[in-house]
Amino acid sequence: MNLDAMLADLEELVLCESYSSDHAALARSARVVAEQGRRLLGAEPETIVIGGVPHLRWTFGRPRVLLLGHHDTVWPIGSLRDHPWSLRDGVARGPGVFDMKAGLVQLFHAAAALPSRDGLSVLVVGDEELGSPTSRPLTEEIAAGCAATFVLEASADGGALKTARKGISRYELAVYGRAAHAGLEPELGANAGVELAHQIIAIADIAARIRSSSEAGMVSVTPTMLSAGTSTNTVPALGRVAIDVRVPDAAAQARVDELMRELVPRVPGTRLELRGGPGRPPLDPASSADLFKAAVRIAEELGIGPLRGATVGGGSDGCFTAGAGCPTLDGLGAVGGGAHAAGEHVIVAEMPARARLVSELVRRFVQF
């Protein structure tokens, strides 16, 4: 693997901003990613636009192995002004460099190094950071016919591969009350803000209830963004709270959903409306076990040091491929840290070795 060539490709991707919610930026990014893939893979991608979001797919023969990544980032357009691309002392920085533009570079260079790409499918989606609302069916359809999926998302701490991920559910609870003048006749109102407070306490208690009643492991049910009211002298008629849920297994995800739907109002005259539900399923350790063992053996053969596995709370499209029944190994991308934050960075010396590992994994599993 030629590190200089990889760094040139990485700089090109980072300088092409690709905020998930900006369709025009995603279209520009898709053109750049397509050109890199075309040059390195020797084939034109299929560009699949769903709901304005561009996804790229390369298919070589009957797919047996899926290489999976995304080209969108969480960084709004203009972030390069405050977080410019830089490469100093072996560390690359810039918006999306770790999550996951370096992973895309490694993906393409790994595939380019294969003696044959027959049996390989490459999918680069454009909405992963939003939860993959348009690309999920496409990802699941491809994965269902494959023997293995290798996800080029960034590694866990210290370069560990991601052998398990928590499942993610997202909800919004709306509380409807009745407005009234807060000074003249508050008793005529039904305070959605007070009801919202009751519900936040009840929601925060759900995780503890699950932990005390099962072997569900670490479950988090976290009220996040909230709002209520329209003015300081009006009884609030509407309140909202968003809820982030992380679960280790499908049973816990189902139980949280059940308890969320059992919430009842406490303040007379108010009512509740729950939206959302389970999103990404958990990536079960059993789905990655055999692939991880193979990766450890290959890493030893290549002399690139011992590999570790890690369980992480963040989700990825690897959750969908595992949920579709395809053995999945995640976190094969960049080594570095600071995803989604000002300190986002990549240790560039690790990029060729990680690409070699992926290339060898594909070569062995594409024959299954």
Among residues 244, 278, 312, the one where a domain terminates is: 278
For residue 249, CA distances in Å to 43, 50, 201, 224, 286 come to 39, 30, 24, 22, 11
- Which of 9, 17, 99, 128 is the catalytic position? 128
In this structure, the answer to whether residues 209 and 343 fall within a common structural domain is: no
Kindly state whether residues 64 and 142 are assigned to the same domain: yes
- In a shared domain, residues 99 and 110: yes
Active site residue 344: no
For the segment 39-52, the average pLDDT, to the nearest whole number, is 97
* pLDDT at site 212: 61
Q: For the chain, what percent of residues have pLDDT higher than 70?
A: 98
Q: Which of 278, 296, 312 delimits the end of a domain?
A: 278
Which residue in the block uniquely carries the two structure tokens 């849920």? Answer: 245
Q: What is the average pLDDT score of the chain?
A: 95
Assess whether 141 carries a catalytic annotation: no
Q: For the domain that residue 272 is a member of, what is the CATH number?
A: 3.30.70.360
Interval 83-87 mean pLDDT = 97
Q: Which of 40, 30, 349, 328 is nearest to 163 (CA)?
A: 328
Specify whether 33 is located in the same domain as 105. Answer: yes
* Residue 213 confidence (pLDDT): 54
CATH number of the domain enclosing 103: 3.40.630.10
Q: Is the pTM of this model over 0.85?
A: yes
Task: Say yes or no to pLDDT of 274 above 90.
Answer: yes
Indicate if 13 and 34 belong to the same structural domain: yes
What number is the average pLDDT over the span 46-60?
Answer: 98
Same domain, 21 and 147: yes
Query: Is the same domain home to 274 and 179?
Result: yes
Give the model confidence (pLDDT) of 225-252 as tens digits: 999 999 999 999 999 999 999 998 888 9
Mean pLDDT of 308-315: 90
Rounded CA gap, 68 and 66, in Å? 6
- Tell me: do 195 and 269 sit in the same domain: yes
Q: Of 11, 17, 72, 317, which is the active-site residue? A: 72
State which of 278, 295, 312 marks the end of a domain: 278
Query: Over the stretch 159-192, which tens digit does the pLDDT of each residue have?
Result: 999 999 999 999 999 999 999 999 999 999 999 9
pLDDT over threshold 60, residue 156: yes
In terms of Cα–Cα distance, which of 30, 11, 12, 10 is closest to 20? 30
In the chain, the number of structural domains is: 2
Q: What is residue 331's predicted lDDT score, i.e. its pLDDT?
A: 97
> Which residue range forms the structural domain that includes residue 50?
3-166+282-365
Looking at the structure, tell me whether residues 79 and 139 fall in a common domain: yes
